[in-house]
């Protein structure tokens, strides 16, 4: 009877030995597969519906499209931010301020988005209580429809922070006051 470590198999046959060169080839192939899979998973596909990654003849445009966000201001006021980012990064939009009963003002804004980082800086002017005001909006756009970005609105010395997402939210519309009709007393 052979010793189990002597190289014999269960039937007394010698065990097959793995050729060292074959082993090196298999390990190299396995290593190549392990390294290649994560890279293949990170390569984006072609662009979609107008937001997010778009592959075009001139390269990748990460942030071209429409965005909207909301922010709480002071005194129960809120603002809706709507942006359109062009291929060049040039950005236009509106900041619509309302008080819950209707729109107080709509500020036309413009500026630039960094097409690599998604950071933006926009400005617009408006009049509040007969005083000229400047709204400065800064932030970072989301990289996909599944994420949101953040932005800040600075009006005078006050700064407010909100969130921004891919796509457009409805624009608030002014609400006319409800007329009061006295009821005659019999």
Boundaries of every domain in the chain: 63-166
pTM of the model: 0.60
- On the CB side of 185, CA atoms within 13 Å amount to 0
* Residue 47's pLDDT band (cuts 50, 70, 90): very low
Summarize pLDDT for 18-40 with one digit per residue, the tens: 555 565 554 554 454 444 444 44
- Going by C-beta distance under 8 Å and a sequence separation of 6 or more, which residues neighbour residue 105? 96, 97, 126, 127, 128
For 63-166, CATH gives 2.40.128.120
- Residue 49 scores a pLDDT above 60: no
Please compute the mean of the pLDDT values over residues 61-79 and round it to a whole number. Answer: 90
């Amino acid at each position: 009877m052979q010793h189990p470590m002597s190289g014999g198999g269960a039937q007394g046959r010698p065990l097959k030995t793995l050729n060292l060169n074959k082993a090196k080839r298999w390990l190299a192939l396995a290593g190549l597969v392990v390294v290649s899979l994560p890279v293949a998973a990170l390569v984006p596909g072609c662009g979609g519906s107008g937001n997010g990654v778009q592959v075009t003849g001139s390269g990748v445009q990460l942030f071209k499209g429409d965005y909207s966000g909301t922010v709480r201001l002071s005194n129960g006021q809120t603002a809706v931010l709507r942006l359109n980012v062009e291929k060049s990064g040039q950005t236009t939009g509106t900041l619509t301020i309302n008080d819950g009963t209707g729109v107080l003002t709509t500020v036309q804004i413009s500026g630039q988005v960094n097409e690599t980082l998604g950071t933006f800086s926009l400005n617009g002017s408006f009049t509040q209580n007969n005083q000229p005001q400047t709204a400065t909006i800064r932030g970072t756009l989301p990289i996909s429809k599944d994420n949101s970005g953040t932005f800040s609105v600075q009006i005078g010395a006050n700064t407010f922070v909100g969130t921004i997402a891919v796509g457009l939210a409805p624009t608030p519309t002014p609400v006319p006051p409800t007329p009061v009709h006295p009821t005659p007393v019999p």
